[in-house]
Amino acid sequence: MKKEIKKYEEIFTKKNFKLSVIIFSIAAILITIVSNIHIDPYIKKFIIPVLVLIFSYIFVLEEIKVVKNRKAYLYLIPILLALLSYLFIKIDESNMVLNIIFIPIVLSIFLLTLVNEKYDLSRKFMLNFFRIFPGRLFSNLRYVDLLKKEKNVPKNKNGFNIFIGCLIGIPIAIVILILLSSADTYFSTFIDSIITFIKNVLNLNNLVPNLFILLGSFIVLFSVFVNILKNRNQNKKEQKLRVANNSISSTILIIINFVFVLFLVSEISKLTVNFLHLPVEYTYAEYAREGFFQLLFVTIINISIILYFVYYTTVIKENKLVKNLLLILVTFSILLIFNSYYRMFLYIGAYGFTVLRLQVVLFLLMELILFMVMVKKILNGIKHNDAFIFMVVIVSTYVLNVYLCSKTFIELINKI
């Protein structure tokens, strides 16, 4: 630990960790108190803890002066929009689950970007947010040792003085409370409810769960804080691209593209023989949903293949044939998206929108935009940071999904 402290000695100081322990202890107590209030479970178990976490980290990081990139605060817009969507509209249960996945990921990127000077989302940088949590969840607690008293330091009498102040102040406060309670019935009821709540929290049946919540909240808050400090000021290194074999790459892409040629011929044949009419043996549901989700998975596979060749290898710069084959694969992928759109809107036309169907429409739109970005990258390259563009597209689509894919909005568009 001494080597690590020396490496980060400008931030791994007793003062910084003392502040963090105080703030995160208060935050953990607040989370524990809220967990005992009789309110919506999603609010007290997810929304409030995340809000407490966000503002605790912002306060501590600003106070210890490690914030290097305030543009990162823009990430709070989609984070808060997604987090508070439950309060603004009645979001679908699927979006509640997606929020639990989406928000921690974007929050991790926000915190890392906040303490790193470069506003960059390179591949290596994006991998760092996995180190935020749950990496070294318990081992980071050893940094609490920094709070131990240093040798040859005069004893601080603040603790004794606070004790004396409590001895004098508490009896006076009790007398004032009794007088005010007798003077105001509403205030008396208010104080009684606070005392009842405290008794419930300290109840033996609730004591063990509350201790787990308290300790668990503190461990997560403190450990993630240490990981943020360890991953600050990351030096961006140029990503070493692999030299892919041209013959192997072109052979793989030719085989994949040939499969899509067969599929395209089949689809054209279906449309020309029976143009825009359902096959006699099919119902709307069978025809529209036949293989629909398989087509979605195929486009995801295509995205993975294209991303690998474009961002992990030098092959598109070295071989024109591979470059053209990738463009053909992108074209087939876009055709698959339109095919999926056709099937989905055929189904929607017959049975109307549902939350899942609208989510699929938005997901297909996101895929379409991502493929267009890839076309730009393959042809001319992208002047701006690629990963940031992908992030904007994905995050924007997700926020649209949260607010549009609700029962209220679905009922509205089905009436139109």
Q: 146 lies in which domain range?
A: 2-230
Residues 150, 218 share a domain: yes
| Ordered DSSP codes for 282-318 | --HHHHHHTTHHHHHHHHHHHHHHHHHHHHSBSHHHH
Pair 399, 135: CB distance under 8 Å = no
Residues 304, 223 share a domain: no
Residue where a domain stops, chosen among 185, 202, 230: 230
Q: Provide the β-strand partners of residue 406.
A: 91
Residues 271, 156 share a domain: no
Q: Which tokens sit at 264?
A: 């395209």
Residues 331, 225 share a domain: no
Q: Which residue has the tokens 């003085």?
A: 161
Q: How far apart are CA 99 and CA 79, in angstroms?
A: 9
Query: Is 238 contained in some domain?
Result: no
Helix H or strand E encompassing 73: none
Pair 292, 343: CB distance under 8 Å = yes
Residues 376, 299 share a domain: yes
141: Cβ contacts below 8 Å, ≥ 6 apart:
219, 222, 223
Query: Is 398 contained in some domain?
Result: no
Residues 257, 220 share a domain: no
Residues 338, 253 share a domain: yes
Alpha helices (runs of H) in 118-157, residue ranges in sequence order: 123-127
* Model confidence pTM above 0.85: no
Query: Is 405 contained in some domain?
Result: no
Biggest CA–CA distance in the chain, Å, is: 94
Which of the 8 DSSP states describes residue 242?
A: B
Q: How far apart are CA 214 and CA 224, in angstroms?
A: 16
Beta strand spans in 144-261 (E): none
Q: Which tokens sit at 307?
A: 């991303």
Query: Is 291 contained in some domain?
Result: yes
End-to-end CA distance of the chain: 64
Q: Helix axis angle, 93-114 relative to 386-404, nearest 10°?
A: 150
In tens digits, what is the pLDDT along the chain, a chain of 416 residues? 555 555 555 666 777 788 888 899 999 989 988 888 888 889 988 999 999 999 999 999 999 888 888 888 999 999 999 999 888 887 888 888 889 988 988 898 888 888 887 656 655 555 555 667 666 777 777 776 666 554 444 555 566 677 667 777 777 888 888 877 887 787 788 888 877 777 666 665 667 787 888 888 888 888 888 888 887 766 555 556 677 778 888 898 999 889 888 888 777 766 565 544 555 555 555 555 555 567 778 888 888 888 888 878 877 787 888 888 989 999 888 888 887 787 778 777 777 888 888 888 898 899 899 888 888 888 876 656 677 788 889 999 999 999 988 888 888 888 87
What is the predicted pLDDT for the residue at 153? 45
Q: Which residue has the tokens 């793989």?
A: 252
Q: Which residue has the tokens 């405290």?
A: 198
Residues 316, 170 share a domain: no
Residues 72, 210 share a domain: yes
Q: Which tokens sit at 197?
A: 């709540």
Quick: pLDDT tens for 213-229. Answer: 888 888 888 888 888 88
What is the predicted pLDDT for the residue at 151? 46
Residue where a domain stops, chosen among 230, 261, 285: 230
Residue where a domain stops, chosen among 230, 262, 278: 230
Query: Is 152 contained in some domain?
Result: yes
Write a three-state SS string for 118-165: CCCCCHHHHHHHHHCCCCCCCHHHHHHHHHCCCCCCCCCCHHHHHHHH
Q: Report the domain count for the chain.
A: 2
Residues 209, 91 share a domain: yes
351: Cβ contacts below 8 Å, ≥ 6 apart:
284, 285
Pair 35, 44: CB distance under 8 Å = yes
Q: How many CB atoms lie within 10 A of CB 349?
A: 10
Query: Is 408 contained in some domain?
Result: no
CA 255 to chain centre: 37
What is the predicted pLDDT for the residue at 415? 80
Which of the 8 DSSP states describes residue 36?
A: T
Exposed/middle/buried for 330, CB within 10 Å: 0-12, 13-18, 19+? buried
Q: How far apart are CA 116 and CA 69, in angstroms?
A: 6
Residues 219, 278 share a domain: no
Residue 27 dihedral angles phi and psi, to the nearest 5°: -60, -45
Query: Is 416 contained in some domain?
Result: no
3-state secondary structure of 136: coil
Query: Is 415 contained in some domain?
Result: no
